[in-house]
Amino acid sequence: MTDLNSLKYTAEHEWVALEGDVATVGITDYAADKLGDVVYVDLPGVGTSVTANEVSGEIESTKSVGELYAPLDGEIVEINDAVVSDPSLVNSDAFGEGWLVKIKVDPAAVEALLDRAAYVALTDDDA
Amino acid sequence: MTEPIDGAAALRVTPLHERHAALGASFTDFGGWSMPVRYTSDLAEHHAVRTAAGLFDISHMAQFGVAGPDREAFLAYALAFDPAKLALSKAKYTMILAPTGGIIDDLIVTRNAEDQFLIVANAGNRDAVREALNDRREGFDAELIELDDALIAVQGPRAQEILEATAGLVHDDALAMGHTLDTLPYYTAMGMRFGDGAVLVSRTGYTGEDGFELSVDADDAGALWDAVRTAGEPFGLVPAGLAARDTLRLEAGMPLYGHELSLDIVPAQAGLGRVVPLKTKEADFVGRSALASVVATDAPVLVALVAEGRRAGRAGYAVLGADGERVGEITSGALSPTLGHPVAMAFVAPSASEPGTELFIDVRGNRIPATVTTLPFYKRNAK
């Protein structure tokens, strides 16, 4: 079970797990819940350069389409084929099997993201 | 039933609201009512209706009783259908039209007693329908009573068995208008006893499955909901929200007011020309003269579109012809949960409306090929 407190977060409801200089990115259970049943994910290709806070893909549910923002600058090194074939993983395991992309990043940039407490406070304000 | 839930939002709630909240439902504002959009998952609720049954609270819909010596003549004038042809216990899908022939609402009218009719209208059009009906009542000795009864739908292949197993819902010859649950035909209603009161059970629905819509006194709604849920559990009955309701009706090819139907279109544009009995109905009715005159042949018509892949065109997306020119717009669309591919309804130029025509849908900048087909997308297996 992922330790949610060890993750970093963004205001666009993404979570980030850093290992060395590779950040694994997904969307939070809060975002997945708001979207409803995810039926399609559109991810950037491996090798694509992404820019922090810019739209890099889409995540589509039965009822709506949400934009996927890159949480950090970097290069996509891996995408989750399992979630492309089975988008419902985002709903069933947002922090685990439902991960979306891995980005090669500057580790220092991850520090600037929200910690668990700050993210939870943000979603409480939203509710 | 009419209490707002808080001062700021002032949304109306149904008698079943607390139950939905207790089930963990997510709510949405629909036509001024706080209604459950989903309880667990849109897809799970959709699939349950197709394989077992779903339980819907549709009490936000408007229900009107029509009575009085001139009730039939009044309805003949006010609405598109011919009440003279509606026998006791029968229900009819029809429309209330503007003088232009445009659609104010689509409705179901039932002759629910020898001396009455019941009209069920869309929640979003409650005020418009009430106003039009009252205006048109002038000069007729007829009463229009807005009811605050609850409306509960049980939809799915197991729906009949579930109602037959529902404790307290009892057959009563005095109310049944000659039917039993088993023999009740489609678009027909019967009364049943529930506790001290009565329930009007109609074999109608908005999902494409067998099913029933139950009209019951607001005070009995909670007990009826609970009794149906208890009886339904072993059959796989689940509460289902508006999200599932929308994908179900889309697959079944049923129009939704505000999407496929509006004041700006006449029935024939939406494929509903034959719902208006111009040839056989003698009485004049509002909208008759407009419909009887020739409709411009370039008026957009409603078509069904299917596509491959999983990116669905949604309401408002453009429909393009082979040359990339815009030929129309999607009114409703989704990735069909039951069929597994995108389905949509769209208004397009008549020249692009022939089944088999290859078109494109603009899905957020991507041109997705789509083919014109005929409704419905999904049809249940005939019993």
Alpha-carbon distance of B270 to B350, in angstroms, equals 12
Residue B50 near residue B156, CB atoms below 8 Å = yes
User: Per-residue confidence at B4, pLDDT binned at 50, 70, 90?
Assistant: very low
How many C-beta atoms surround the C-beta of residue B309 within 10 A? Answer: 13
Listed as ranges, residues in chain A with pLDDT below 70 are 1, 126-127
**Residue type, position B127, single letter:** D
3-state SS, chain B, equals: CCCECCCCCCCECCCCHHHHHHCCCEEEEECCEEEEEECCCHHHHHHHHHHCEEEEECCCCEEEEEECCCHHHHHHHHCCCCHHHCCCCEEEEEEEECCCCCEEEEEEEEEEECCEEEEEECHHHHHHHHHHHHHHCCCCCCEEEEECCEEEEEECCCHHHHHHCCCCEECCCCCCCCCCCCCCCCCEEEEEEECCEEEEEECCCCCCCCEEEEEECHHHHHHHHHHHHHHHHHHCEEECCHHHHHHHHHHCCCCCECCCECCCCCHHHHCCHHHCCCCCCCCCCCCHHHHHCCCCCCCCEEEEEEECCCCCCCCCCEEECCCCCEEEEEEEEEECCCCCCEEEEEEECHHHCCCCCEEEEEECCEEEEEEEECCCCCCCCCC
The number of C-alpha atoms within 13 Å of B313 and in the hemisphere containing its C-beta is: 30
Q: Pick the residue with more confidence: B295 or B271?
A: B271
Residue B193 near residue B247, CB atoms below 8 Å = no
**Strand ordering across the sheet containing A38-42:** A38-42, A55-61, A65-69
Q: How far is the first Cα of chain B from the last one, in angstroms, to the nearest whole number?
A: 38
Cβ separation A36–B311 shorter than 8 A:
no
Structure confidence at residue A126 (pLDDT): 61
Residue in chain B closest to A42 (alpha carbons) equals: B311
Please determine, for the modelled complex, whether the ipTM score is greater than 0.85: no
Residues of B within an 8 Å Cβ radius of A: 37-38, 41-43, 243, 247, 310-312, 314, 334-335, 337, 364
Structure confidence at residue B9 (pLDDT): 56
User: Per-residue confidence at B11, pLDDT binned at 50, 70, 90?
Assistant: very high
For B345-360, what is each residue's pLDDT tens digit? 999 999 999 999 999 9
Alpha-carbon distance of B177 to B88, in angstroms, equals 8
Cβ separation B42–A36 shorter than 8 A:
yes
Count of A-B CB contacts under 8 Å: 32
How many C-beta atoms surround the C-beta of residue B301 within 10 A? Answer: 18
Q: Per-residue pLDDT for B30 more than 50?
A: yes
Residue partners of B103: CB distance under 8 A and separation at least 6 = B95, B96, B97, B257, B261, B262, B263, B265, B266, B267, B270
Helix (H) or strand (E) holding A30: helix A29-35
Cβ separation A65–B364 shorter than 8 A:
yes
For B136-153, what is each residue's pLDDT tens digit? 999 999 999 999 999 999
Cβ separation A37–B310 shorter than 8 A:
no
